[in-house]
Structure 1
Amino acid sequence: MLPIQKKLIKYNYSSGNDIKYIVIHDTGNSSRGADAEAHYRYFNGGDRQASAHYFVDDHSIIQVIEDSNASWHCGDGGGKYGISNHNSIGIEICINSDGNYDKAVTNTIELVKHKMAQYNVPIERIVRHYDASRKNCPASMSTNGWAKWNAFKAQIQGDSSITELEEGVQAIGKVIAQSGLRVRDGANIDSKILDVLPYGTIVKIGFTQGSWHNIYFGNHGGWISADYVEIIKKKLDPNNKPATPESLYRVRKTWEDAKSQVGAYKVLDNAKTECDKYHGYSVYNESGKVVYNSGSSEEEQPTPQLKGTEIMGQAKATIEQMEKFLHDANPKAPYYAKVFIEEGALEGVRGDIAFSQAIKETGYFRFGGDVKPEQNNFSGLGATGGGTQGATFKDVRTGIRAQIQHLKAYASQEGLKGECVDPRFNLVKRGSAPYVEWLGAKNNPNGTGWAWPGEGYGFEIITIIEKIFQQQVEENIESKYINRLKELNLISKEKDSFTELTWAEFAELIVKLLDIVVLK
């Protein structure tokens, strides 16, 4: 593999990246000279509102964003297909006309293999930009039913063509469910959901049971509905029996209780590590014999750990970043960021998330829908469409407080710190949406949420707050001195600006300062 040249850019990325996917793009730029270096210079030259982790051409690999940070490469899909900026690495293939495209693809394959090994990403999660957003990308691979893409993935697996199925694989299939296909730990709809495979994912089928396929899923085995899989290639067994899957170590309560399975591993040590997380579980070989027992001393129930952006917690964006982002988009917008931060802190809810949601709901505080500005309803509470205006609140702070309380109802089972002003608080299933990404019911495994059906709703809020984080603001000198005067008990802790001081209070401050000077 070519050496990776690290040339980090200053723009268009967000902190944090839980790497589960590798997303392939092409630059769409066939101009002469549009190689990896040229794209680095372009993206380092200003705020482009887009980025990727790597650019690859026929002679170089350039990394412009750390893997641990999220590049802005597939946010146009809103995460509704399971793939987002915060769980993937974005790789751009250069298609400049004066370069060798085939060599650029080969270099990309080597980089992908390297990253797969580094982050334990299975082949099923090497995806196209198309899989994340339905954008025709990489367009250079899209003709003839994505023939070049299929060849690309086959080469990653070490095959020049998909002609023979490896031992233990009965068939190769493609996911055709537009909204993605759930992987379960058993062959029925009541089994636990392990993950969701995006549309177009290529899967290896070990065997079939009724209307369910058992697939190779990274180091795990899993079950998917056969109704949403198109068979690309099939191996016919001479005895008309399913091909036997390769040996896996399965983590279960008992061999007979298949529904309790929390994983199936090719490597015994990996199975042991998983087993230790659950009291009373064991590792079984393919014959059903126990080869390891859990050493865990604490009783716990196995549940899939679905991560997201927690609604509860301290705000991460500053008031200045929030106000700058909003007023760059709408100079006539009110200045409410401080109230969102204060009310959020009262209930332990991230005020910057509530502020981002309000931007989405009000159209950057332009309103224009069923809810009117004078209602002080910044989150559409009770506005169910069809002209229904929803709730009205007596003032701005009460309206924001109601929104904060409603978010807390979804995100937590804790009681409110203040008096309840949210008229719909008791209608919420408490704790059913702890993550921003789950606020849309269609993206929530609990089947509920703030927005209905709300597909992609929470991801749109995440996109807004990511942009807020990128705002460059100068230090607020006034705030610096106001805070220092508060520390010295020279002004009331309720004051946040010199303009809030009355003439009498200002005169009192001068006298106190003179006294300090005289004493010194």
Structure 2
Amino acid sequence: MSIKITKMIAKTHCYIGQNHPNYVIIHETDNWAKGANSRAHATAMKNGNLDGTVHYYVDSQECYQTLEHQDGAWAVGDGKGKYGITNKNSINIEICVNPESNYYVAVDRAAQLAAMLLNQYGWDTSHLKRHYDASRKHCPRRILDEGLWDNFVKCTKSYMKKGTNAGSVKPVKEEEPAKLYRVRKTWADSKSQIGAYAYLDNAKIACPAGYSVYDWTGKNVYTNTTAKTGTQATKLKGLTPADLIKKIGPLFTADQLKTGVLASVSMAQFILESGWGKSGLTQKANNAFGMKQNLSGNTWPGSKWDGKSVVSMRTGEQKKNGEHYTITANFRRYPCIEDSIGDHSAYLAGAKNGNALRYAGLKGCKDYKKAATIIKNGGYATDINYVNQLCRIIEQYKLTDYDVKAGNTGTDSKPAATTPTSTTTQKKTFKVKVTANDLRIRKGPGTDYAFTGKYTGKGRFTIVEEKGGWGRLKSGAGWICLTVNCVTRV
């Protein structure tokens, strides 16, 4: 496999002759403007109009080399070498995210380019890094947000084995369909596409259960027929808060009967931590509680996790002084929501801190405020407002309707057939405090609405409408999620 590279070499804003490459670093431009493709960025860099510089820009159609490898880019200096990666020991690739470019095709082409460079220098994929690895900057943003990094590395390895080189393949003409294998639910459902790949093997690796691989003519060449049992997070995405609670409420009631963990508290955690079942982690891995690969440094009885299935995602943490920070971590992947609930409750009931139960007193506790406090004090969450957030959700949406009442044995433990009445749109004005710089503003109340390309930044903001855990900004900029850790009411 070859990739066509056009050279447009710059000699400004770089360290001429001072680079001694040891890493290939992946970035994203974060430039969603129309026309902000690889050629536009290369031209701007050539003209000295960009403060940051890299060695390559790639989109779904073209690839430009903008620095010689011997010249160091102004790309990862924000890390100041703290993590071993510098501007003078790295080759840097920017993936363009402009709207005209097919993002997933651009990512695949970046994997081809990375494979070519790794082969050229005789390196393995331990030399393939993200900008995040150099400085802890949230970059490449979409790769991190969508949990694509592990698959990116796998694809790069595959291209390395096939011997990707520069030069012989002409650029795909815009009027011609790219000869790529696309992963979708159906050929007609283009919105369901989760990737496009030059090799069938890579497309199969990325194809989850219930999806198929189609060639460039629309022919189905592979279907992942692995059976899915239990509730799938993808079926929750379009539900209103009221419908979601009605659907998952009985799952938490059943879990309380098995584990003794109060249904209302577990369900509030589900709502808070999964963004009403719509978070990227929940949708990709049926992981509704942010359960990491390793927790508390031990194991616990009754775990529903298979011990190996993981997905890499970004996550927000908070220090004791209230300062927010982000890390990338491996999270557990489950076959269904029921297993996520079961593993979460098994952890709460059985995890230990030394020889003592980490959440002693939680099992069988009937007071949701006390139960939430036990969970927080056991070290479950770093957010200092965690208990208040859980209690607010429980009270607002009447989640105690799903708690198993004292004396129930299971035969009459079904919650009352009531629909929470507080899930409708509320137009009461209030203020929130945002303590993170990268809280996304969306065009509507949910992650299924488009990202506006803007962030709130830190500060206090007025909310004029609330719907399903989302708030509409008074400024008119859009909607923000109110249930994430970096947002608190004031």
TM-score normalised to structure 1 length? 0.31
Tell me: higher relative CO, structure 1 or 2? Use CA pairs within 8 A at least 6 residues apart: 2
Structure having the higher Rg: 1
The structure that is strand-richer by fraction is 2
The structure that is helix-richer by fraction is 1
TM-score normalised to structure 2 length? 0.32
